[in-house]
Copies of this chain bind each other. A is one copy, B any other.
Amino acid sequence: MKEESALAAFAALSQETRLRIVRLLIQAGPKGMAAGDIGAAIGATTSRLSFHLAHLEHAGLIQSRREGRFIIYTALYPAFSSLIAFLMQDCCQGHPEICAPAVTAMACACDPTSADKA
């Protein structure tokens, strides 16, 4: 991942409405969610929602597909993996014990029974 992409991704994630959209889509999984359902879940008017969805899509964090009259948005998981790897690159210079908690936090996030630990 290039620095430019990482900056765009972090900028996209630094806004309340967009962060909520992203977390919602990450939790929704590969089946995704329709724009209207996202708007209802986070409480945003259509123009505001559309603006932020476009922003996230442009940043490469989500993607959309049309299904009839609905537009379905899904999280792009590899983008998040790359972003995390870019940020934490060479984080411990060969001493993994320094950043092990970060790896554990990541693994915990994947285990629904312990997601709140970190």
Question: Are A26's CB and B87's CB within 8 A?
Answer: yes
Q: Verify if A14 is at the interface (C-beta below 8 Å from B).
A: yes
Copies of this chain, how many?
A: 2
Interface SS majority for chain A: helix
Q: For chain A, give the interface size range.
A: 35 or more
Q: In the complex, which residues 63-118 of chain A have their Cβ closer than 8 Å to any Cβ of chain B?
A: 77-78, 80-82, 84-96, 98-112, 115-118
Q: Let me know if A14 and B10 touch, CB within 8 A.
A: yes
A residues whose Cβ falls under 8 Å from a Cβ of B: 1, 3, 6-7, 10-11, 13-16, 19-20, 22-23, 26-27, 29-30, 77-78, 80-82, 84-96, 98-112, 115-118
Q: Identify 16 residue pairs between A and B in the complex whose beta-carbon atoms are under 8 Å apart, listed by A's number.
A: A7-B15, A7-B16, A10-B11, A77-B98, A77-B99, A81-B99, A81-B106, A84-B84, A86-B118, A87-B109, A92-B110, A93-B112, A96-B111, A102-B110, A103-B107, A106-B106
